[in-house]
Amino acid sequence: MTLRRWIFALMLCCATAPVFAVTPALPAAGTIETYFTPWDDAEGAIIRTLGEAQQSIHVQAFLLTSRPIAAALLAARTRGVAVAILADQEMLRKGDNSQLPKLAAAGISLWLETRYASAHNKVMLIDAAEAGAIVITGSYNFTWSAQARNSENLLILRQNPALAQRYLANWQRHREGAQPYGAGGIDGR
């Protein structure tokens, strides 16, 4: 291949390649709690942390079948905390034990992600717009199996407002592309 053809091929390749954003590193701040199941009580840590919410809880869930976690979300809503959930539509369709319909019926805002092969995020943001924001994330699905049968990890990251804002912006970006539960026949079945 001549140099001219090689440069032309490179230009074609680069012109059609996706452009990914480069995000700046965030400064380390706050505290980190680590949990590893089945040995640590990750579910209990989530429930205790949800009990600290004063303003808002934003959830991204691949699965949510844990009744205690669902009860903690309902309790937060009852205390006046705004609770909003994004969930994977296919997993809701497949899951017989999903707590999502119950949460939606109780008035918790629920949107279903349909754009991706798998909306695999497992995130909870507590008071994300506040200085004491909390980010919960890891491989841990919000299920009984994640606590009792699986090998999972969970991080609870406190007092890092820049991190919480980054996660909240991502949550909002996903929310813009999600469908409201119950709208246009999107009810998980």
**Which positions are catalytic?**
120, 122, 127
Q: How far apart are CA 76 and CA 164, in angstroms?
A: 19
Following CA atoms 164, 170, 172, 173 in sequence, which dihedral angle do they give, to the nearest 10 degrees? 160
In the three-class reduction of DSSP (H, G, I as helix; E, B as strand; rest coil), residue 117 is classed as coil
**Which among 111, 153, 135 has a CA at the least distance from the CA of 31?**
135
Residue 185 DSSP label: G
